[in-house]
Amino acid sequence: MRVSRLSLVTLRNVPADAEIPSHQLLVRGGYIRRVGPGIYAYLPLMWRVLNKISTIVRDELDSLGALETLLPQLQPAEPWERSGRWQGYTAGEGIMFHLEDRQGRRVGLGPTHEEVVTELAGELLRSYKQLPVTLYQIQTKFRDEIRPRFGLMRSREFIMKDAYSFHSDEADLDRAYAEMAGAYTRIFQRCGLDAVGVDADSGAIGGAASQEFMVVANAGEDLILSTADGSYAANQEKAVSIPAKAEPLPEGEEQMLETPGQATIEDLCSANGLTPGQTVKVLVLLARLEDGREQPVLVSLRGDHELNEVKLTNAVTRKLGSSALEIAPITADQIREQGLTALPFGSIGPDLDDGSLKGARSWETRFLRLADPAVLDLVRFVCGANSSDQHRWGATWASMPDQIRTDIRNARAGERSLHNPEQTLQERRGIEVGHIFQLGSKYSDALDARFTDKQGQQAALLMGCYGIGISRLAQAAVEQHHDEAGICWPVSIAPFQVIVVVANVQDSTQVALGESLYGALRIAGVDALLDDRSERAGVKFKDADLIGIPWRIVVGREAEAGRVEVVERSRRSSNTVSHQEALSSVLEAVSSGS
Ligand code: ATP
Ligand code: MG
């Protein structure tokens, strides 16, 4: 391809709405253009990158025996209602774009495809003899994200590879899941990414295995906790640890503390010579459940610990048997709207009386009381006394109503690993590029997808599902591979592997040598660009750096003598050699994938 024909528009300035380097560079390099919030056009250079990634993904999945397919993006509401997800995905802050067609039928734009594929599998896969089967597709997904940001990292329309596997027994699901994890590791390696597999949250259904693949990068939205020896790595949403020991309270009788204006743990501690680990932090929250219930929740944590919202959502869902759609702090206004007396915020203890909910307009009238194991391990502690500006010093759990013991705190860097207490957790940020998941019979039960097993009995299909964010992966590669001058694509996913730059297109010797190198590269099957524009050489070099083609051959003043410059983009190293040598060294580097 000739750069003059590429409609390449590069920008020198950083676009105002692009916060992270990869987003800035993709816009500046003419790879993507914003069309609307969270909606991007993939320009020709980007489309080539996306296709290269897709080719690697197809290659690895095909070699597992998976079958490529293409499922509709427009999905009727019915299967989503049967699986119980329509409400959660469309109501309130639900992320599914949904609409009514001219006949008034409700449809959604696919954010994911479990429902559609499970119904199909139920119709097509009738006997154990047809199993196992893995279907996959590479397709645009739609999600009305609350906060679309960082370009392709979190967009509202993005390209995903999603795969679904069907099995007759657990062992076979385990096998396929492990094989998929292996394929994912190879895919990310082949794309030139430094990615790690981490334990991931598998939602409230629990039990089932789930792993995310994270590209390690400071711009990542996820926090990874891992041990230095690599034996444990988990998303903070899921990570567990041994908390640091809390300093015990000095001996002494339980007593009342007057704590005027000490509404935060910090103020309470500094005014009374306490450490946060000696206090109990109580959060008053409201959970909105899928079945319509509005459940007040009282959460107790050690004062030095933070709430983990994912663990909390799972715990509430498990306990109440209906999905918690939203859990948020209760406000003074809400208390008034329910017709209740004000709560002593800032001085609430784990024993806040259910009486304070009596007569609530729409809320349940008893608290769900959850307490983290670390807080329950405190023998004596300081907590709110449920009356304004008063705390109890030296309180014990014996004086408290029953609490449900459940892990709801964030594990943190510096804490010891639960799996190997010799190891300490470290933290890094990561971008989730892939997620694999054992679904079991969650969807096949709901959608009645059954097969006849070896014994002639009807049984629910067992399922796994496996996603890769193709467009997010492309941007994550830039986040990992760039410098101040631009992108440094790994050769395997670069839009072009080599760019031949003719420094001065008025010079016929340079043009002739440039054309001949370009032709030779193309004959050798290399994706090559020829910068034949009549721009100044400096502009062309800047553009080549910015768009990040791994190898550059510059045909300049020494063309007369048959000599050219070979530049390796990532190392910014340069060598002046004969044009034959340039060609053979670049061909060798490209074919070895470096
Ligand atoms: P996240 O936690 O980042 O919102 P998710 O867990 O909801 O993602 P999955 O349902 O597991 O995402 O989707 C599979 C893959 O699709 C993710 O691993 C990610 O790489 C990609 N992906 C998900 N949401 C987006 C998005 N809004 N924009 C781009 N890629 C996305
Ligand atoms: Mg995920």
Mean pLDDT computed over 403-432: 96
- Residue closest via CA to ligand 1's atom 13 equals 467
Q: Please tell me the distance between residue 469's alpha carbon and the centre of ligand 1 in angstroms.
A: 6
pLDDT in tens, 307-340: 999 999 999 999 999 989 899 999 999 999 999 9
DSSP lists the bridge partners of residue 33 as 41
| Distance between CA atoms of residues 328 and 389, nearest Å | 24
Mean pLDDT computed over 340-352: 95
Mean pLDDT computed over 426-446: 96
The pLDDT assigned to 325 comes to 87
* CA-434 nearest atom, ligand 1: 18
The pLDDT assigned to 207 comes to 58
The pLDDT assigned to 204 comes to 63
Residues in contact with ligand 1 by the CB-under-6-Å rule are 112, 143, 145, 154-155, 158, 160, 432-435, 467, 469, 471-472
Mean pLDDT computed over 360-366: 97
At 227 the three-state DSSP class reads strand
Q: Please tell me the distance between residue 161's alpha carbon and the centre of ligand 2 in angstroms.
A: 12
pLDDT in tens, 244-264: 999 999 999 999 999 999 989
The pLDDT assigned to 594 comes to 61
- Higher-confidence position of 208 and 277: 277
- Residue closest via CA to ligand 1's atom 27 equals 154
Mean pLDDT computed over 45-51: 98
What's the chain's Rg over C-alpha atoms?
29
The pLDDT assigned to 323 comes to 87
User: Residue 107 pLDDT > 70, yes or no?
Assistant: yes
Please choose from 201, 435, 436, 478 the residue to mutate so as to test ligand 1's pocket, defined by most ligand atoms within 8 A of CB: 435
Q: What string of H, E and C letters represents the secondary structure of 37-74?
A: CCEEEECHHHHHHHHHHHHHHHHHHHHCCCEECCCCCE
| Distance between CA atoms of residues 21 and 223, nearest Å | 19
**In terms of Cα–Cα distance, which of 150, 141, 136 is closest to 69?**
136
What pTM does this model have? 0.92
| Packed helices 470-480 and 21-28: angle between N→C axes, nearest 10 degrees | 100
pLDDT in tens, 372-383: 999 999 999 999
User: Residue 56 pLDDT > 90, yes or no?
Assistant: yes
What are the CA-CA distances from residue 270 to residues 217, 275, 282, 300 (Å)? 37, 8, 18, 21
Share of the chain above pLDDT 90, in %: 94
Do residues 476 and 431 make contact, with C-beta atoms less than 8 angstroms apart? Answer: yes
* CA-156 nearest atom, ligand 1: 27
Mean pLDDT computed over 423-441: 96
Q: Please tell me the distance between residue 80's alpha carbon and the centre of ligand 1 in angstroms.
A: 19
CB-side neighbour CA atoms (13 Å) of 446: 19
* Ranges assigned E (strand) in 490-527: 498-502
Q: Please tell me the distance between residue 212's alpha carbon and the centre of ligand 2 in angstroms.
A: 7
Q: Please tell me the distance between residue 258's alpha carbon and the centre of ligand 2 in angstroms.
A: 47
Question: Average model confidence (pLDDT) for the chain?
Answer: 96
pLDDT in tens, 13-44: 999 899 999 999 999 999 999 999 999 999 99
